[in-house]
Structure 1
Amino acid sequence: MADMQQSTRRGLRLVSAELVVLVGVVLSAALGLSVLVGPNGLGLVDLDPRWPVVGQSQYVMAVETTFGPDAGIVVRGAPLWTDTPDGTRDAVTGGPPVEVTGPYTGQVGFFGPTLAQRWSWVAWRAAGPLLAAGSLLLVLRVVRSVRTGSPFTDVNAGRLRTLAVLVGVGGTALSVAGEWLRRHLLDTSAAADIVQRDWEITFVPLLAGVVIGVVAEVWRAGVKMAEDLDGVV
């Protein structure tokens, strides 16, 4: 009886894990597809921008950037200083003075992009969520194999290797391509002289891909070792 209850609880935990990963797959795919079919893409749907899943596809095509000193940004309402017998103090509170300075970060919107620019931006915005959906789908199949049988198979080792490529190569390529596109859009726009010429490329996906690849190889070696032991027995 105790074994049956333990097995039932284990089955429920595995089903719950599957459902969580499945929700991640669906949400990621929906986010990516919303960009493709939204107003900036194919224009097939016109969804409420306040919706968290599909909001980005509704907004004007834009990229985030840090503005340079030539932007002339002034912060309205910034604290003012005043000289007193006790030294320089905050003009309102009388407390120690503070200074609000840059760099300032904001978004640059593009209201008249070329067809190539628009679709490059759409592809970049959609690629991340769709890549996440594909990666989570592989994770879902591995999790499902735990419930339906043994997870230590060559099939799952292959899935982990594919996942390593998707995360490591795909994620890094997406970071590089996205940053190149961001810089191209900014440098060819009217805002080119007031934004900083910075690059923000992350290699975290590459590191994660290497870790997953190592796990995949250990997994494959464990499967082979189990097969060899079965042959000896």
Structure 2
Amino acid sequence: MNTRLTRTLASVTLLLAVLCGLAFIGKGVTHMADDGAVCVQTGFWANTAIAPDALPIEKGVEASGSGTRLCQDSPSVAQRAADLGGELPWLLFGAVALLLFSRLLDAVVDKGPFTEVVSRRLATLGWVVAIGAPVASLAVGWSRSWLVGSMAPVAGSGPEMAGSLELVLAGLAAVVMGKIMREGVRMREDLEGTI
């Protein structure tokens, strides 16, 4: 096993986790302090030929591109938070997943690849990815849907998923691999105990 490469990868992953965390905090603070317009994309009127000025939108909302882009010049705090909710969940998910992956690699370097600690951390990472991806996707979709509904009540819809969910399969695969590794570690310990 190449420990130098694994240690370097663990350090780079930890650095990326910290950067995602800082981006999460920085984006939240700067976005809430911003006083500019809030815009959102919608596909509600994408297949219609309605002029943007004839759309049933709230006062102060501008529509462009056949009503697929809505902008509120003086958004409420809730609208600004909903706009932020369209970006922050994935940054938080990325920071947590990268941090757990870095801890997994640290355990591989310190304890070896086939140990109880590594199998436990792999399963934990898998559960976080399998559950965190749909939760982040749902949070982003709900935020965008609510924001569209606040600008154009006719176009608002219920919660939707925003993003691909292939990460769920990767997370579940990591959970299964963690369980398999844990059983392998127990079998090796039992075998070493009998010899």
Q: TM-score, normalised by structure 2?
A: 0.74
Aligned alpha-carbon RMSD (Å): 3.2
Give runs of aligned pairs for residues 65-104 of structure 1, distance below 5 A.
Answer: 65-66=42-43, 67-68=45-46, 69-72=48-51
Give runs of aligned pairs for residues 1-233 of structure 1, distance below 5 A.
Answer: 10-38=2-30, 40-41=31-32, 43=33, 60-66=37-43, 67-68=45-46, 69-72=48-51, 107-190=69-152, 192=154, 199-201=160-162, 202-233=164-195
Task: Specify the alignment match of 1:83 in structure 2.
Answer: none
Unmatched 5+ residue regions in structure 1?
A: 1-6, 47-57, 74-102
Give the aligned residue type for 1:165.
W
Rounded to whole Å, the distance in 1 between the matches of 2:9 and 2:116 is: 22
Rounded to whole Å, the distance in 2 between the matches of 1:155 and 1:59 is: 48
Q: 1:191 to 1:141 in 2, by over 3 A?
A: same
Q: 1:198 to 1:130 in 2, by over 3 A?
A: closer
% identical aligned pairs: 26
Unmatched 5+ residue regions in structure 2?
A: 53-64
Give the aligned residue type for 1:63.
V
- Residue 24 (structure 1) shift: 1.8
The 8 Å contact of residues 82 and 144 in structure 2, kept in 1 or not, is answered as no
Rounded to whole Å, the distance in 2 between the matches of 1:232 and 1:104 is: 74
The 8 Å contact of residues 93 and 136 in structure 2, kept in 1 or not, is answered as no
